[in-house]
A and B are shown apart, each in its own frame.
Chain A
Amino acid sequence: MANITVLDFEKPIIELEKRIEELKIFAKERNLDLSDEINNLQTRAEKLRRDIYSNLSSWQRIQLVRHPQRPTALELIDLIFDDFFELHGDRLAGDDEALVGGIALLNGEPVTVIAPQKGRDTKENLERNFGLPHPEGYRKAIRLMKQAEKFNRPVITLVDVVGAYPGIAAEERGQGPAIAEAITVMGALKVPTIAVITGEGGSGGALALAVGNRVLMLENAYYSVISPESASIILYRTDSHAQEAAEALKIGSRDLLDMQIIDEIIPEPLGGAHRNPEAMGRLLKESLERNLAILRGLAPDELVSARYERFLAFGKVADLS
């Protein structure tokens, strides 16, 4: 795993790993037995890794999900599914490359997969509009959801999106109504729906793809009504308090599991999904199979009403009368 971008809070680990490597080379060159020292340092490094990665703050987790090498949707799709046949276009105006969708095989069973897609590098990010969908993206998603329902295929969404694109053309072509329609259509589908928040779950642009019977979340992902930076600007008139805002907004997987906004946390490999994408793919696949097996036992109408009930529960208020 060479050339992985190192985040600030990871530096102590990386420095220790470097010292171990140097010591190993030194021992080999001088033909010395330093195995005790090396073992010692390795134990220390292991402990340091566990200490740092198991006590991550909301803000550190956000940095992990924004990591440039975090696996993108298409990479995860490749790791989870046996095959993927991408389908294009909203049949109205265009094909939005910021949102991909198609038919895939999960252990030989066809499913429809829909996911916003970020780019790997600057060039791909420009092509994919940094994974920020236009209305055409959401309308493609709606088309594929209805198609899935027609052919009785479960719908699986992988959600890593900062938000729906804020732009003139997006507004002119109805960004708001497109999101509302996606929420409505996904909410009423008569097939099993599973949403996985895999990275950034940015507001309405994420919810449009997350009205699932089951909503799962990768350990380090976040799901929020507003970005911590924007919340900081509203609260403190500067984005420099984004860390505090991230804590106050309770956007991490553990808080969201406590609030039952999500049903399950899918653990990430130590240090984040990018440190071991293959393991991440296996963990995701295992969870999707298990959750899908539960949902396959429900009749179409039961799926709809179970989904209604799931979201209806998020209206707890105090009645003073």
Chain B
Amino acid sequence: MSVFKDLFRSKPKYVTVRPHKQGDKSEKKEIPGGLWVKCDKCGNILYSKDLDKSLSVCPKCGFHFVIEAKERIAQLIDPGSFEEMDANIQTQDPLGFPDYLQKLYKYQEETSMKDAAITGKGHISGQPVIISVIDFNFMRGSMNTVVGEKIVRAFDRASKEKLPVIVVSGGGGGARMQEGVLSLMQMARTCQAVERHQRNGLLYIAVLTQATMGGVYASFASQADIILAEPGALIGFAGPRIIEQTMKQSLPEGFQTAEYVYKHGHIDRIVARPWLKETLAHLLDWHGR
């Protein structure tokens, strides 16, 4: 329990979260009944209810479970202050890619989201921000025209209203193959939107969570003024398997984890989930003075 105590320096505020879903197979195994969850890292059996209270961080070992975008917003944004933007935009399947729409509709049904990102305006400890969160459950958080467009609109609105932007990236974050080169173009579009926002002297904080890779990391996610990361999050450009195949040698321990990337100078600070809101609130306050 010592890790648990370390993690919760201050008593966490209670937040309402949705029950854990089966969607994330690699990170979370649900035992029938939905009351118990086995921690992937330490193997301990945890009460779902306890896990909800600990913001989906294992109270035994500090492992950060992947959480849905909606849960993230509930954790970070003051209750009742969130106003979602562009909830109803959807891809036009620009390539007419085989089987893509069927797949997309299946994800839409499962997640009740139109695509892999939620954006909106809300308050963090009373301070207005534009926030954008990428969701693992929707095609592994891959970037397509919709995700790109939502990020662009979020930054552009923030530029217009002189607001800071918080981006929580994660879920995998490669460019979505089914929209081909148009997914690739989102790297350019989002970087341009960040640049327009930066030119106005406005603050952009990125929170890199499990996993921020490929096209998302090589565009807007690594272009923030301040880059925070959750403990253990995988962060990088090329996937570890591709690197292993190319190099034909095994990877160093902890390779591409937030801790490893931090050591190599690419992120400002690793922040455990229970302190994330507090940390963001601090930074927003200092930049708002």
Chain A residues within CB distance 8 Å of chain B: 164-168, 170-177, 179-181, 183-184, 187-188, 203-204, 207-208, 211, 223-226, 231, 234, 248-251, 256, 259, 261, 308, 311-312, 314-321
Instruction: Please state if A251 and B180 are interface contacts (CB–CB under 8 Å).
Output: yes
Q: Chain B's nearest CB lies how many Å from the CB of A145?
A: 14
Q: How many angstroms from the CA of A261 to the CA of B189 in the assembled complex?
A: 13
Q: How many angstroms from the CA of A188 to the CA of B179 in the assembled complex?
A: 25
Q: Chain A's nearest CB lies how many Å from the CB of B133?
A: 18
Q: How many angstroms from the CA of A256 to the CA of B196 in the assembled complex?
A: 27
Flag the segment in B37-45, B51-59, B213-221 that touches A: B213-221
Q: How many angstroms from the CA of A171 to the CA of B215 in the assembled complex?
A: 14
Instruction: Please state if A168 and B189 are interface contacts (CB–CB under 8 Å).
Output: no
Q: How many angstroms from the CA of A187 to the CA of B198 in the assembled complex?
A: 14
With a cutoff of 8 Å between Cβ atoms, the chain B residues found around residue A183 in the complex are 187-188, 191, 218-219
Asked if B148 is at the interface (CB within 8 A of a chain A CB), the reply is yes
Q: How many angstroms from the CA of A168 to the CA of B181 in the assembled complex?
A: 27
Q: How many angstroms from the CA of A248 to the CA of B97 in the assembled complex?
A: 6
Within 183-201 of B, Cβ neighbours of A (below 8 Å) are at 183-189, 191-192, 194-196
Instruction: Please state if B92 and A184 are interface contacts (CB–CB under 8 Å).
Output: no
With a cutoff of 8 Å between Cβ atoms, the chain B residues found around residue A225 in the complex are 175-177, 179-181, 183-184, 215
With a cutoff of 8 Å between Cβ atoms, the chain B residues found around residue A184 in the complex are 191-192, 194-195, 223
- Listed from nearest, the 7 A-B pairs whose CB atoms lie closest are A166-B238, A321-B88, A176-B237, A314-B185, A176-B217, A315-B149, A175-B237
22 sampled A-B residue pairs with Cβ under 8 A: A167-B246, A168-B252, A170-B237, A171-B255, A176-B221, A176-B222, A176-B236, A177-B266, A181-B223, A184-B195, A204-B214, A211-B188, A224-B184, A248-B95, A248-B98, A249-B177, A250-B95, A311-B192, A316-B145, A317-B92, A318-B90, A321-B87
Q: How many angstroms from the CA of A261 to the CA of B180 in the assembled complex?
A: 11
With a cutoff of 8 Å between Cβ atoms, the chain A residues found around residue B246 in the complex are 165-167
When A168-B251, A204-B214 are in contact, do A179 and B180 touch as well, CB less than 8 Å?
no
Instruction: Please state if A180 and B222 are interface contacts (CB–CB under 8 Å).
Output: yes
Q: Chain B's nearest CB lies how many Å from the CB of A128?
A: 16
Q: Chain A's nearest CB lies how many Å from the CB of B276?
A: 22
Closest to B179 in A: A225
Within 152-181 of B, Cβ neighbours of A (below 8 Å) are at 152, 175-177, 179-181
Instruction: Please state if B238 and A226 are interface contacts (CB–CB under 8 Å).
Output: no
Within 109-124 of B, Cβ neighbours of A (below 8 Å) are at 114
When A250-B181, A314-B185, A318-B89 are in contact, do A168 and B222 touch as well, CB less than 8 Å?
no
Instruction: Please state if A316 and B94 are interface contacts (CB–CB under 8 Å).
Output: yes
Asked if B271 is at the interface (CB within 8 A of a chain A CB), the reply is no
Within 9-52 of B, Cβ neighbours of A (below 8 Å) are at none
Asked if B279 is at the interface (CB within 8 A of a chain A CB), the reply is no
Closest to B91 in A: A317
Q: How many angstroms from the CA of A270 to the CA of B43 in the assembled complex?
A: 63
Instruction: Please state if B237 and A320 are interface contacts (CB–CB under 8 Å).
Output: no
With a cutoff of 8 Å between Cβ atoms, the chain B residues found around residue A188 in the complex are 192, 195
Closest to B115 in A: A317
Please, what's the 1-or-0 string for B220-235, where 1 marks a CB less than 8 Å from any CB in chain A? Answer: 1111000000000001
With a cutoff of 8 Å between Cβ atoms, the chain A residues found around residue B287 in the complex are none
Q: How many angstroms from the CA of A207 to the CA of B190 in the assembled complex?
A: 13
With a cutoff of 8 Å between Cβ atoms, the chain A residues found around residue B266 in the complex are 174, 176-177
Instruction: Please state if B186 and A180 are interface contacts (CB–CB under 8 Å).
Output: no
When A168-B252, A180-B223 are in contact, do A311 and B188 touch as well, CB less than 8 Å?
yes
Q: Kindly identify which residue among B87, B192, B222 contacts A187, using a CB–CB cutoff of 8 Å.
A: B192
With a cutoff of 8 Å between Cβ atoms, the chain B residues found around residue A179 in the complex are 218-219, 237
Could you list 5 further interchain pairs (A-B, Cβ under 8 angstroms) beyond the known A183-B187, A259-B94? Answer: A204-B237, A308-B192, A314-B189, A315-B152, A321-B87
Q: How many angstroms from the CA of A225 to the CA of B188 in the assembled complex?
A: 13
